[in-house]
Structure 1
């Protein structure tokens, strides 16, 4: 292996990025547990805390408002940012990063497919790997084209898909993908809560690769992932996060404007319901299509706020646990699914029926707290997380040193 294609050294990591990634991973865990009642199994089968209905409603409302879709948006932006880092650093060393990048992405694709089938149908890695292959085609695009195409894919394409469903769905009926998923969730419930692991594997694979990826809604899903990748890559080109202290005023302005704007945009449905207003039938798809815009704006605001806070030494130390988790993002993402398997599904303690909004948040805080402790302990002794170490080994073909000197 030449110097041009050597892996990035640990000393070259951007600390703010690790902290933002850790925050995003917390949100991903939270929303995965909170959203199981609509995605994995029927929502009616999760009763939560039946004696605390008001608390459940408040926590559920705040969960969706503060983090629904935002964590995944932030995670996608960071993936595009990381792609640009890798290609730029290899390029500056005089190498061609395409072969290394393709190997890295194909390994991730294999991990994602296995993760989907064996543990968690909501796996994002397989989609990230698939779109990362397309992202490679944009590496020589101008910054203007990269940002413009990214915004179109991340915001306009989802709205266009929703308009398609609005025009092709008979009045009074749910879209075809919704009906298919509801039927699939009902069929998954006894499997998820049973001890039949072979049936579970089949159900997990079918959920994503048959019920979802074969539907037009998957075009929207892949499109906004690729679009966010492109926006993240564009952000890297601007150099803001490489020298954040030079751009603190800009980060503060983005945080102060984007977070409230994202919250207000996300609140539109709740505000209209409170005023007993309904959008006209022709406008309903447009209202639903606004969600990706709100998610992207709010995610950017969160990221900017974390960058500002990281410039305060005391706050940065407080947030350093997020950085430890973010530095081991792949390991922690995969182990979150192990917690699902042990504690939520029927193979273990079978707690899923109680995972309403309140206990979803409590479960998330407990699991993520353990991940902070484990990540700190591990990184004090080893240079990479276990999955990251194996990923680097498979990518570069050279076994990296695991233990710290």
Structure 2
């Protein structure tokens, strides 16, 4: 399916009868933010996860159970959901540019440059596990593929996942170990934790030290993120998220396939040591997209119910300023866990770490609702838009000028 003026029009916020459907997408993005925070918070709370070993200070069965559940339900699924929505939003930008008669390529390239710069600053100052730089680079690939048919996009997405899965399986069968010296990894985890407990200079130095290792991780995550981009692109071209009722049968099929296969793969992944074990990682990589898709399908159906609409009303503002909230999560985690703020790194049990993450998210949801009643964009979204458009867009909403 090629992009043309005959494609059905995109649903615009504020159009009659369509606001709730756009809000559903924002709410889905807000849920993805929560899932990402629940995964990432462990890397703020301790230096050991970056070295793929558990923190020996938290070695009880309950600590292991919490980590296992996060690996089972969230790891490798959260960022795929967010990446899917990035690809979906790209189709909205294509349609917006076409309606206004402007060239998409120069604007989108500027946007990706701005996103890359934000990602570099984020990685150095706040969180070396940044995903924005990867999204910025892969966004240029997505731009180059903007005229491909839906079928082609889906085939490339499946091929990317399959190739990465094959390479990881090959490495696993050859006996490759991700943690070759557990004692050295534990010592490195201790050093990283002590660095996080230090001041701003110590924290930044630790982030910079870990960047090469994170580049290696993104060699796996990057192709999977591009695959999710392409699935989101295909969903956007088919208007999947703006016609939940019309696509209910498809969403039900996604759930019937995604939950049993995705959860089975997640059990192998979590029980096999998560990202530290290549066999489990391979199985998780191949099945995580199915489980992430099942999550999205279930949420979209739930959002169409009376209770779901109330949830959407609460969550949608956070999704509208998702970039600001993603960066804000890291800032708040730095203030809570590192020596820049409360210095809790290495001292908090995994269950309490998750409760802190939920509290941070609740603060963000409330703050987002208050912000979006007064302003048109989140602060990071406004800066990125200003760079993209090469002008200062109006920030305050019409009711607060």
* TM > 0.5: yes
Q: Tell me which residue corresponds to 1:39.
A: 49
Contact (CA 8 Å) 2:382, 2:395: kept in 1 or not? yes
1:379 CA displacement: 0.9
Hey, what's the Cα distance between the residues in 2 that align with 1:47 and 1:255?
39
Question: Which of the numbers 109, 115, 125 marks the counterpart of 1:108?
Answer: 115
- Residue 27, structure 1, aligned to residue 29, structure 2: no
Q: Tell me which residue corresponds to 1:212.
A: 214
Hey, what's the Cα distance between the residues in 2 that align with 1:134 and 1:326?
24
Hey, what's the Cα distance between the residues in 1 that align with 2:148 and 2:356?
43
Question: Which of the numbers 200, 205, 222 marks the counterpart of 1:202?
Answer: 205
Q: Tell me which residue corresponds to 1:243.
A: 243
Secondary structure at the aligned position of 2:57 is classed as: coil
Output aligned runs, 1:221-300, within 5 Å: 221-268=221-268, 285=278, 287-300=280-293
Secondary structure at the aligned position of 2:388 is classed as: helix
Q: Tell me which residue corresponds to 1:94.
A: 101
Output aligned runs, 1:3-402, within 5 Å: 11=14, 14-36=22-44, 37=46, 38-40=48-50, 43-45=53-55, 47-48=57-58, 53-164=60-171, 166-167=173-174, 169=176, 174=178, 185-195=189-199, 197-208=200-211, 210-213=212-215, 215=216, 218-268=218-268, 285=278, 287-402=280-395
Hey, what's the Cα distance between the residues in 1 that align with 2:238 and 2:123?
35
TM-score (normalizing by structure 2): 0.85
**Change in CA separation of 1:65 and 1:286 when aligned onto 2, cut-off 3 Å:** closer
CA-to-partner distance for each residue in 1:122-177, whole Å, 9 max, x for gaps?
A: 111111111111221111122222111111213431441452365374xxx54679
1:190 CA displacement: 2.2
Contact (CA 8 Å) 1:42, 1:189: kept in 2 or not? no
Hey, what's the Cα distance between the residues in 1 that align with 2:182 and 2:146?
36
1:364 CA displacement: 1.2
Contact (CA 8 Å) 1:40, 1:121: kept in 2 or not? no
**Change in CA separation of 1:177 and 1:333 when aligned onto 2, cut-off 3 Å:** farther
**Change in CA separation of 1:100 and 1:174 when aligned onto 2, cut-off 3 Å:** closer
TM-score (normalizing by structure 1): 0.84
CA-to-partner distance for each residue in 1:297-354, whole Å, 9 max, x for gaps?
A: 1111111111101111332112332222111101111111111111101222111223
1:296 CA displacement: 0.7
CA-to-partner distance for each residue in 1:85-123, whole Å, 9 max, x for gaps?
A: 212331244332000100111000000000100111111
Contact (CA 8 Å) 1:193, 1:350: kept in 2 or not? yes
Contact (CA 8 Å) 1:252, 1:308: kept in 2 or not? no
Secondary structure at the aligned position of 2:346 is classed as: helix
1:199 CA displacement: 3.8
Over aligned residues, Cα RMSD in angstroms?
Answer: 2.8
Contact (CA 8 Å) 1:345, 1:351: kept in 2 or not? yes
Instruction: Count residues in correspondence.
Output: 378
Hey, what's the Cα distance between the residues in 2 that align with 1:249 and 1:239?
15
**Structure 2 residues without counterparts, runs of 5 or longer:** 1-10
**Structure 1 residues without counterparts, runs of 5 or longer:** 1-7, 274-283
CA-to-partner distance for each residue in 1:165-201, whole Å, 9 max, x for gaps?
A: 65374xxx54679999777544422221112x33432
